[in-house]
Amino acid sequence: MKKGLLVVSFGTSCAETRALTIEALERDLAAAYPERKFFRAWTSGFIRKKLKASEGLSIDSVPEAMERILADGVTDLLVQPTHMMAGEEFSSVIDDIKAFRERFSSVSLGEPLLASSDDINLLAKALEQIFSSVGEDEMLALMGHGSSAVKENPYEKLNEVFAQDGFERFRVGTVEFEPGFAPILDAARLRRPERIHLAPLMVVAGDHALNDMAGDEEDSWSSRLKTEGFEVISVLKGMGEYASVREMYVSHANEAKLI
């Protein structure tokens, strides 16, 4: 039985962060499963098309990757997404994989990063360590993407865990959907920190981090906080750059369930 590993990401058009995040995740997952042949797929058609035009780089969609994997003779497939949560993109991955299920002997699927309360607690502890240099008189504002397709908002849960752990100076907001920028602005006005560190709570530090978070436009998080009189420092590192976060994805792959 020939075994395969498919790592599925949303994708990014930023080459530098791609190498530091998505490709780092792919390397760690491939190293964890040396007996499986590695394949990749990206779910964003817009980004795949953009990279094809700008770099001549062809990256498969999930259906394209599944056809390629079958043509290679793989019968036992492990699929691990690098998405942050079980939102619309993850649901699309499940639908695409199920359409091919009967053509494989075995297909297993790992969870996205924040799939359970345990995941939220683990990520909170990892972030508390990663950003331990943020002082008591400072604040860390993390930018998540947000989704309308999740029943329980993991970002709100992260804020609760940070507070329980004594890290009230750490707050999570989102660029889209709930809870938005409000938790960040409310906490900043209440705490009046000496400075605010901004960081993306996303696998890659892509367009949202560069523009919506750290950009010079008046509606970016950085500009809005500076308008309030705060000193702002932007940390342009995606979650995929941190080994402790990548280890969580490998753990999810280890716990993958048959579909």
Catalytic residues: 145
Q: What are phi and psi of 202, to 5 degrees?
A: -140, 155
Q: Hey, CA dihedral for 137, 141, 142, 148, is it positive or negative?
A: positive
90/10 Cα distance (integer angstroms):
9
169/138 Cα distance (integer angstroms):
7
User: What does R_g of the chain's alpha carbons equal in angstroms?
Assistant: 19
Closest CA to 5 of 253, 258, 180, 189: 253
> Quick one: DSSP state of residue 20?
H
37/19 Cα distance (integer angstroms):
20
Contact 79, 256 (CB under 8 A): yes
